[in-house]
Amino acid sequence: MARTQLYLVRHGEQDPASGHASDGGLSQLGREQADRLGRRLRTVPFSTIHHSPLARVAQTADIIAGHLPQVPRHDCDLVADRTPVPSAGQRGRYPGRWLDWLDGVPDEERDEDATALQAAVEHFGVTGDNDRHELLITHNFVIGWFVRHMLEAPVWRWIGLNQDNCAITIVQ
């Protein structure tokens, strides 16, 4: 049976001078993290590099892609920065201690009931006739959602899963 391996990578460290601005690029450390990661991944037979369109992620992908010159890459809205938030009818599935924080998630990051993230899992989590390795360069909460899904954990458990910058999480 063919296998699909998803390499989930969080972007490199963002330049602290940009705060959390969506157009903020990488710090010097973030560029070094991405370069080290690219060297580490250079022997993996990736099919494609999919990355969030935000600047810090695109810059991370640029650096990593320099070590994977034959691998096509593209901006991918499926791995854009999203925060799963429960709809009014689903709030009971989340511990009460998280609800105030979730209510404060900015509108542009909200993914009500993780509809978009679930679509990403369904899109990337398919198998075909051949083994496939996909590199997804994305954000902490997106990776947390994929891992929560793979572990069949409660819907809110993505909250406690935190990846360092340029860390690799591999799911199959």
What are the CA-CA distances from residue 47 to residues 43, 75, 157, 158 (Å)?
12, 15, 30, 27
pLDDT average, residue stretch 91-115: 95
Q: Give Cβ neighbours of residue 69 (< 8 Å, ≥ 6 apart).
A: none
Cα(120)–Cα(118) distance, rounded to whole angstroms?
Answer: 5
Please answer whether residues 48 and 73 qualify as being in contact, where contact means their C-beta atoms are separated by less than 8 angstroms. Answer: yes
End-to-end CA distance of the chain: 12
pLDDT digits (tens, 9 = 90+) for 76-89: 999 999 999 999 99
Quote the pLDDT of residue 18.
Answer: 73
Tens-digit pLDDT profile for residues 8-20: 999 999 887 776 6
Question: The domain containing residue 26 runs over which residues?
Answer: 4-171
Structural domain tally of the chain? 1
Could you tell me the pTM of the whole model? 0.93
- Any idea what the CATH number is for the domain that residue 134 is in? 3.40.50.1240
